[in-house]
Structure 1
Amino acid sequence: MGTFTEHSAEEQSISYRFPREERLRSKKLIEQLFREGSSFNSYPLRFVALHVPGPAELPVQVLVSVSKRNFKKAVDRNRIKRQLREAYRLHKHVLSQPSTPEGTWYIGILYIGKEKNPFNVICKKLNSGLERLISI
Structure 2
Amino acid sequence: MSNGPFTLSAAERLKSKKDIDTLFRQGEAFFVYPFKVFYTFKPTQHPALQMGVSAPKKLFRQSVQRNYLKRLVREAYRLQKPALQQIQQSEGLQLQLMLVYATTGKFTYDKVYHSIGNILDKLIKKAHPGDVGDAKKEA
1:98 to partner: Cα distance: 3.8
Partner of 1:18: 8
1:66 aligns with 2:55: yes
| CA–CA separation in structure 2 for the residues paired with 1:103 and 1:132 | 16
Distance 1:46-1:103 versus aligned 2 partners, 3 A rule: same
Larger-gyration structure (1/2):
1
1:119 aligns with 2:109: yes
1:84 to partner: Cα distance: 0.4
| CA–CA separation in structure 1 for the residues paired with 2:45 and 2:16 | 19
User: Structure 1 stretches of 5 or more lacking a match?
Assistant: 1-12
Partner of 2:130: none
Q: Is the 8 A contact 1:51 1:106 kept in 2?
A: yes
Give TM-score, length-normalised by structure 2.
0.82
| CA–CA separation in structure 1 for the residues paired with 2:26 and 2:16 | 15
Instruction: Tell me which of 45, 69, 72 is aligned to 1:80.
Output: 69
Q: Is the 8 A contact 2:14 2:50 kept in 1?
A: yes
Q: How large is the RMSD of aligned CA atoms in angstroms?
A: 1.6
| CA–CA separation in structure 2 for the residues paired with 1:53 and 1:110 | 24
- Listed as ranges, the matches of 1:1-136 within 5 Å are 15-56=5-46, 58-98=47-87, 101-136=91-126
Question: Alignment length, in residue pairs?
Answer: 123
Distance 1:69-1:98 versus aligned 2 partners, 3 A rule: closer
* Identity across the alignment (%): 32
Runs of 4+ aligned structure 1 residues displaced above 6 Å come to none
Deviations 1:25-83 (A, max 9, x none): 11111111011111111110111100121112x52000111010000000100110000
